[in-house]
Structure 1
């Protein structure tokens, strides 16, 4: 760490929802931050119904009630966060995803002597599949709120470039790639018996439109004699209302980490049919298990998956190209692709590197946080007039 930091880092993570990628991100990061900052200096605000997704001690957790995504749920998150700030007294608040960033950043900007604010969008709202007006509003909001943010963490080169194109000042942005532990969790013994002569395909993720589960089901229907597909996950944002499930697709719901590792062990390949993807931690989990990946050429996935080397990429985003992608990847030696992916994972995606880079970001904002009081007053005034 550059410079000498007088104060210990005391970080509060806040998320409106964690199920899926954000829970994986926090679970990977937590042991590193706890070891570096101390167990008493890392705390979380998360929804109560996702409490079990986070492998941390109850004393490190503040929860709030929510019933789906609603104004009431956002208010409960805000109230729980402000209470946690008053009790825990962090010097860094690390916000995860758009809704936490949208609600907390104005509230913290309006507070005197607020902690430093780090924001990680985990995928820009303006990069998602929405209407033109929604895109414009999201870009305007992110540009305005960037002025209240000490640092914005982009988890992929694609996310960073999207931010610059949207007009977000580059001096607010820092690229910190996701990483996971090099040590793979032990697979649950005999949890994933998969006696099939077809290609065994595993999907892990939310059954929400973003993740393209409907495209996978349609591609599987077209390749019923070729593929045996298992889907680990469930809907988070909306109720599952997907197409009828063909006979070669099995829905498993959410599983614990060791069960997921058992299914990874048994699978021939992992599919990530996301319509948009800020990063895709599932890709790293697949590579760590030496499994090849089939994905669309979208978002950060082309940064992670090397076409024809560690997996296969297809485009455009639709069921037909996905089915063709399956046919193409099955022409390769899947074990060779998987081992190349494992080598790439070891080289680039260790969570220790992610932790060190985030620690440096925290240290930098705290060292620069002998913040001129007049600058903070001006920021609050500008924000109030704009909102």
Structure 2
């Protein structure tokens, strides 16, 4: 079976997903049978994959011209490679690759599509949500299977009118072995305080502004927040907004360095306002770190109070502040042990790969 993955932009969760899934599939089907089409300016995010697996198009920009060029390049690639399965990742790639098939009903490869978080779940205007849902309904007839990354995502897809017969839920998964981190690679986190870690964009979706406000309320405690990821570019949370003194930002770091930060912290913070899955949560649990997450969307499917961490009402800074005040290192260490067991039971790459391969076989 020959598989072509297509992604318009991979930085972040899509890159993690592909770097976990592709090696599993290449071991199963052969290295030359599993290819990835990505933008030429995005290759650094898939550096762990064999260069021979990559097929490049011009740019990850989202201008009309760049998207049209991507569509032409991917269409030529599909004709040349003749894959059995075209596995499309995220909304823009889903639109660009599937749209031509509405007009051309000739024999084609089987199409698997995963939004990696529905655009119609974002906290945007109702008009935009309706438009995103309408686009997904329009493109569903030329899609053989739609992968949902959580039960929440599957329920929402049904609610907006996507065909339930085409919806398949498969949790994201990652390699079960804890990454080896040399002591010299660990960031310098003082051990006389609790070290909280936030990984992600500092934007409204990820709820960083709520976490920053909570940290400003616990200046009397020996706790420190370490922030990894790009600053927000949204007007809702200005990049110039000052952090309290118990917060340190590190900016964007290569994906290979994230395990060192997870190893050094006591707890991972995920105060998201909407979240289709939450890969950072299972990366934390794999390393024996509990997660303090909001109850937004799919996060309660990952984080179980008293087993893998804490849950608080999304947007409730008071509740988040009280949770931070209640934390202790012995308690966090106990939660970390059960969090790792919870991860291994539900979120390994083998489980994800097996489920996706079974789906390929069904549609092919």
User: TM over 0.5: same fold?
Assistant: yes
Q: 1:20 aligns with which of 3, 12, 37?
A: 12
Q: 2:183 aligns with which of 186, 189, 192?
A: 189
1:291-310 matches, cutoff 5 A: 291-310=289-308
Q: 1:265 aligns with which of 257, 263, 266?
A: 263
CA separation in 2, counterparts of 1:285 and 1:90? 32
CA separation in 2, counterparts of 1:216 and 1:76? 40
CA separation in 1, counterparts of 2:328 and 2:62? 40
Match status 1:43 vs 2:35 = yes
Deviations 1:324-351 (A, max 9, x none): 3322444971011111111111111111
Q: 1:10 aligns with which of 2, 10, 17?
A: 2
Q: Using a 3 Å threshold, how does the CA distance of structure 1 residues 237 and 52 change in structure 2: closer, same or farther? A: farther
Q: Which residue of 2 aligns with 1:101?
A: 94
CA separation in 1, counterparts of 2:56 and 2:27? 23
Match status 1:64 vs 2:57 = yes
Task: Give the match's secondary structure for 2:357.
Answer: helix
Q: Is the 8 A contact 1:313 1:325 kept in 2?
A: no
Match status 1:86 vs 2:79 = yes
1:117-196 matches, cutoff 5 A: 117-191=111-185, 192-196=187-191
CA separation in 2, counterparts of 1:245 and 1:26? 34
Q: Which residue of 2 aligns with 1:77?
A: 70
Match status 1:113 vs 2:107 = yes
Task: Give the match's secondary structure for 1:363.
Answer: helix
CA separation in 2, counterparts of 1:70 and 1:319? 37
Question: Deviation of residue 68 (structure 1)?
Answer: 4.4
Question: Deviation of residue 183 (structure 1)?
Answer: 1.3
Q: TM-score, normalised by structure 1?
A: 0.87
Q: Which residue of 2 aligns with 1:221?
A: 216
Question: Deviation of residue 57 (structure 1)?
Answer: 1.9
Question: Deviation of residue 187 (structure 1)?
Answer: 1.5
Question: Deviation of residue 228 (structure 1)?
Answer: 0.9
Q: Using a 3 Å threshold, how does the CA distance of structure 1 residues 110 and 330 change in structure 2: closer, same or farther? A: farther
Q: TM-score, normalised by structure 2?
A: 0.92
Question: Deviation of residue 85 (structure 1)?
Answer: 1.1
Task: Give the match's secondary structure for 2:154.
Answer: helix
1:230-241 matches, cutoff 5 A: 230-235=226-231, 241=238
**What is the aligned residue count?**
358
Segments of structure 1 that go 5 or more residues without pairing to the other structure are 1-8, 367-387
Q: Using a 3 Å threshold, how does the CA distance of structure 1 residues 83 and 225 change in structure 2: closer, same or farther? A: farther
Q: Which residue of 1 aligns with 2:355?
A: 357
Question: Deviation of residue 236 (structure 1)?
Answer: 8.4
Q: Using a 3 Å threshold, how does the CA distance of structure 1 residues 36 and 238 change in structure 2: closer, same or farther? A: farther
CA separation in 2, counterparts of 1:108 and 1:40? 26
What is the alpha-carbon root mean square deviation over aligned residues? 2.0
Q: Using a 3 Å threshold, how does the CA distance of structure 1 residues 124 and 67 change in structure 2: closer, same or farther? A: closer
CA separation in 1, counterparts of 2:198 and 2:32? 37
CA separation in 1, counterparts of 2:271 and 2:321? 11
CA separation in 1, counterparts of 2:42 and 2:29? 24
Match status 1:200 vs 2:200 = no
CA separation in 1, counterparts of 2:32 and 2:80? 12
Q: Using a 3 Å threshold, how does the CA distance of structure 1 residues 185 and 236 change in structure 2: closer, same or farther? A: farther
Deviations 1:95-133 (A, max 9, x none): 111111122111234342221110001111111101111
Segments of structure 2 that go 5 or more residues without pairing to the other structure are none
Task: Give the match's secondary structure for 1:190.
Answer: helix
Q: Is the 8 A contact 1:45 1:80 kept in 2?
A: no
Question: Deviation of residue 216 (structure 1)?
Answer: 2.0
Q: Which residue of 1 aligns with 2:21?
A: 29
Q: Using a 3 Å threshold, how does the CA distance of structure 1 residues 273 and 70 change in structure 2: closer, same or farther? A: farther
Task: Give the match's secondary structure for 2:181.
Answer: coil
CA separation in 2, counterparts of 1:48 and 1:216? 35
Task: Give the match's secondary structure for 1:51.
Answer: helix
